Amino acid sequence: MRNIGNHRHNCKVLREGKGELIVTYRPSPSGYPAKPSDYGPCPNCYAYLVKREMWKHRCPEKVPQTQRRKVIQSSNLLLPATVSTDMSQHLQRVLSSMKSDSVARCIKSDALIVEVASKECFKLGHNSEQDSYIREKLRELGRLVLQLRETFGDENASLLDFINPEKFQQVLKSVRTMCGFSDSSHTYINPSLALKVGHTLKKVSTVVKGQALERGDDILFQRASGFLDLCGIRWTEEISSHALRTLYQRKRNSPQLLPLTSDIVCLANYTKSVAAKQLSILQNKGLCKQDLHSAWVKLAEATLTRVITFNRRRQGEASKLKLVDYESCSIGAKETALEETLTTFEKTLCKSLSRVEIVGKRGNTVPVILTSDMRTQIDMLVATRDQAGISADNPYVFARTCYGSLSFIRGADCLRKLSETSGADKPETLRSTRLRKHIATVSQILHLDENELEVLAKFMGHDIRTHRAYYRLPDETMQLAKMTKFLLNLEKPGSLTEMKGKSWKDMQVSANEEVVEDPGDADSNDECSDADVEDNAAAQELQEPEAMLEETDDNASKVRSTTSSSNVPQKTTKRKAWSTDERDAIMKHFSGLILRNKLPGKTEIESVMVKEKSLHSRSWRNIKDFCRNCIVSKSRKLH
């Protein structure tokens, strides 16, 4: 009874912002200086304690263990409302679901931030998935207000106080501090936050202008207009330029790694085995509720990962696959005139696969292809939703199972979790964005025409321009090989006439071009340069690279000229065919390097020559040239 009376008194103090709280336990100031907002009532006995130490509280009320969950959340619900009851239900839901900290309290107590939140909720209220985006924008403003208060020592300052041209310089200083600006290097620790705050402040200034027009407040209108004009004039040079430069530098310096094909295969096989195992568990009728729940979650995670990796779909799109969309999926292709142009194998694929249309980026409709195994697994997930504890109101196929959630399982979490346990060599590269860039980059070797490229881009969920500009990584092989061939031809007299109407493939380099190797190449296990590969390909074009070897006298660094118009006397050469034993010995030791387009070094070759008697009649350079020719032959077959 006493605690209930104290609770009523404390609610009045918190609501009015003045008075003294009556608490059961107050920590020592030296250990943890608690603020009034750090206290809350026990949900059962109403004793006021510091929230973060409430787990130590031994409540005199006997409460079942199952009801002792989310104690702090229940305590916050007993406190007086900081959100006005006049707000829309959507806005109340957004503000109430925020983490209870100093930033959230600042947001709820600032009238201008709440007004901005109200407008964002009205704009995006049709999509509950945007709640996290709204909270992110509000927390940006809350952090900025706290930084402004700390910088200028005014604990009661609001955001509206700083929408003033006279305080624009103070806002710039606080943004730099909040985003970690370095005066020496002119870079940011968090450059993306600086860019986001700039856009949000312009939106806030526009909201203030609208309020001033409604009230007829000319002074406030002039303040907001002046602040907005300053943002347009000075924000780019003061904030955005350095933030963008920081982002570009990080992007340029960060390695652009694509996932290895072996890792993709490893992940695919692993997810298949996990899904098959959990599917067999769910098919057992005598499962307890806990085992069924665990198997359902693991099957959902494995199936979602399979859908993402197989379709190279954005993880957010695949995660939001809805029951309505899945139930309306089509099995097999519809009868169209195009079916006559398909091969027998392609027709068989169309009859065995399913196609689901889901909502992609910017509201576009994108397809998802499901194999028969994926359909079987998803059918099991749908059939056992009720037993797994999925809310009947949850519209998603890959739904969350906790506490009646209406959300979905995050595909990024599933992909990260399963890639790390799959045994892949580089699991950090197995992410949805890099998988999408992988297929876009590898597809370059197919030489797709414009129509085929458009089909690929449309399936990926973007247009051809986006596909070429952002998803294809710069291919060093293509740049070195193709561009070097083009540049070498430009240095010849009459090159424009010879190159007229030719493609990259038809363009050839004269065989008398000199190939200069790095002197240090002989003593190191370096990778084969793509430029060397292309030059040797041109020089060896008239002969089989695996069958013949060109041996010159002491000046062996120059390739023999085969051009009949050359006036330079040709050197006498001996060709000696490679025997089967010699080829087998080389491939036995260097096949792995050849597959990876790498050349062995001198030391490595000489150690093999000691072991293999069949190679005693060859020099180390002969063997290296043989490996290079094998790589050239392999690259020709790919193109």
171 neighbors 201 (Cβ within 8 angstroms): yes
Q: In the chain, how many domains are there?
A: 4
Statement: residue 535 has pLDDT above 50: no
Residue pLDDT, tens place only, 169-200: 999 999 999 999 999 999 999 999 999 999 99
**pLDDT, mean of residues 394-410:** 86
Residue 24 has pLDDT above 60, yes or no: yes
Question: How far is residue 520's CA from residue 515's CA, in Å, rounded to a whole number?
Answer: 15
Q: Report if residue 193 sits inside a domain.
A: yes
pLDDT at 200: 93
| DSSP H or E run through 365 | strand 365-370
Judgement on whether residues 331 and 387 belong to the same structural domain of the protein: yes
The pLDDT of residue 539 is above 70: no
Distance CA(515)–CA(536), nearest Å, equals 8
pLDDT at res. 483: 63
Residue ranges of alpha helices (H) inside 218-342 are 218-235, 241-253, 261-282, 289-311, 315-319, 323-327
Sign of the alpha-carbon torsion through 335, 337, 338, 344: positive
* 12 and 71 belong to one structural domain: yes
Q: Which band of pLDDT confidence, cut at 50, 70 and 90, is reported for residue 419?
A: very high
pLDDT(334) > 70: no
Say whether both 29 and 124 belong to one domain: no
For the chain, the average pLDDT equals: 77
Sorting pLDDT into bands at 50, 70 and 90, what band is 335?
low
What share of the chain in percent tops pLDDT 90?
Answer: 23
- Rounded CA-CA distance 15/9 in Å is 10
Looking at the chain, the whole-number percentage of residues with pLDDT higher than 70 is 74
**Of 236, 253, 270, which residue constitutes the final position of a domain?**
253
Does residue 238 share a domain with residue 141?
Answer: yes
> Is residue 510 domain-resident?
yes
**In the prediction, which pLDDT does 566 show?**
41
Residue 567 lies in a domain: no
The mean pLDDT value for 26-55 works out to 77
Task: Return the higher-pLDDT residue of 81 and 404.
Answer: 404
Angle, vertex CA 436, rays to CA 435 and CA 437, nearest 5 = 90
The residue type found at 578 is: W
- The answer to whether residues 243 and 351 belong to one domain is no
Residues 141 and 243 placed together within one structural domain of the fold:
yes
Read off the CATH number of the domain in which 400 is found.
1.10.443
pLDDT of residue 584: 85
Q: Which residues contact 481 (CB under 8 A, 6 or more apart)?
A: 530, 531, 533, 534, 635
Asked whether the CA dihedral 501, 504, 505, 511 is positive or negative, the reply is: positive
pLDDT at 538: 35
Tokens representing 4?
């209930």
Same domain, 586 and 486: yes
Which domain-ending residue is among 410, 436, 470? 470
Instruction: State residue 542's pLDDT score.
Output: 29
Q: Which of 536, 551, 558 is nearest to 628 (CA)?
A: 536
Which of 470, 487, 504 is the C-terminal boundary of a domain?
A: 470
Dihedral, 621, 624, 626, 629 alpha carbons, nearest 10: -120
Tell if the pTM clears 0.85, that is, is over it: no
| Arithmetic mean of pLDDT, 480-485 | 61
Strands 39-41 and 48-50: antiparallel
Residues 10 and 101 in one domain: no
Residue 84 lies in a domain: no
Q: Are residues 265 and 132 both part of a single domain?
A: no
| Choice between 580 and 242, residue whose per-residue pLDDT is larger | 242
Is 83 domain-assigned? no
Q: What are the tens digits of pLDDT across the range 217-268?
A: 889 999 999 999 999 999 999 999 999 999 998 888 777 778 888 888 999 9
Residues 140 and 200: beta-carbon distance below 8 Å: yes
pLDDT digits (tens, 9 = 90+) for 355-389: 888 888 777 788 888 888 899 999 999 999 988 88
If one compares 530 and 433, the residue with the highest pLDDT of the two is 433
140 lies in the same domain as 284: no
CB 161, CB 136: distance < 8 Å: no
Range of the domain at 271: 261-470
Whether pLDDT at 282 is above 70: yes
Half-sphere exposure of residue 320, counting CA atoms within 13 Å on the CB side?
17
Is residue 460, in this structure, part of any structural domain at all? yes
Q: Confidence class of residue 96 from pLDDT cuts 50, 70 and 90? A: confident
Domain co-membership, 456 together with 600? no
Q: Tell me if 140 is assigned to some domain.
A: yes
The pLDDT of 303-309, averaged and rounded, is 92
pLDDT at 381: 93
Is the pLDDT at 447 greater than 50? The verdict is yes
Residues 98 and 160 in one domain: yes
Q: What is the number of residues in the chain?
A: 639
Q: Is residue 479 part of a domain?
A: yes
